[in-house]
Structure 1
Amino acid sequence: MAKNEVKTTVVADGLRYRSKVAGSPFTAAGSFGAATMSCFLCGKHRPRASLKTRKLLGKAQAVCAPSCRELDAANGQG
C-alpha cells in the first residue's frame, strides 16, 4: 500500500502549513565550510568565514571577527 505524496502548501494567511519544508534555512547547499553559525555574543547567523573562536566562560566560542559592531557597519545594518 503506497502513501499519498504530501505537497508543501502555505495557507493564505502565511502562518500555517500543511507539511513543513525539509531542512534548515541556515545550512548551505554546498559544503560544510560554507554553512552559517550563530555568534555567541550577538546571536546573529554569519558565514563561518566571518567568525573566529575566542575563549569565553572557560570554553572556546564562535564570535564575530573583528567584532559584531564592525560587521554590522560593513554590511550596512546600522
Structure 2
Amino acid sequence: MAKADTKTKMLADGLRYKSKVSGSPFTAATSFGAATMSCFLCGKHRARSQMVTRKILGKSQAVCSPSCKAADEAAAG
C-alpha cells in the first residue's frame, strides 16, 4: 500500500510545487573524497572515504567499510 504524501499538495493546474529548489541533495563536493556514493549492499549514502570496493558478482562495487552494521553504529554513536 502506498503512503499518502502529506508534505505536498496538488494545485488546481496539476502542478505539485509552486517553487522547488533545483539540484540534488547528493551534489558533488569540491574534493573527490567528500562526495557521497550509495553502498551496493545497504543502499545508504556515505562519503567515499568511508567506503571500499569489493568484487561482488564479478564486478567491483562500493560498499561500507568495514561493514554496513559497523558504519551504522559509528554514525549513531
The reply to whether TM is greater than 0.5 is: yes
Residues in 2 aligned to 1:29 and 1:22: alpha-carbon distance in whole angstroms: 16
> Once superposed, what is the RMSD of the aligned Cα atoms?
1.9
Identity %: 68
| Partner residue in 1 for 2:12 | none
Gapped runs of 5+ residues in structure 2?
1-5, 9-15
Residues in 2 aligned to 1:33 and 1:49: alpha-carbon distance in whole angstroms: 5
Counterpart among 2, 14, 22 of residue 7 in structure 2: 14
1:19 is displaced (CA, Å) by: 3.2
Aligned pairs for 1:1-78 (under 5 A) are 14-15=7-8, 16-76=16-76
Give the paired residue count: 65
Residue identity in the other structure for 2:7: G
Residue identity in the other structure for 1:63: V
Which 4+ runs in 1 deviate beyond 3 A?
A: none
Structure-2 change in CA distance of 1:24 and 1:60 (3 Å):
same
1:66 is displaced (CA, Å) by: 0.3
| Partner residue in 2 for 1:3 | none
Residues in 1 aligned to 2:17 and 2:52: alpha-carbon distance in whole angstroms: 37
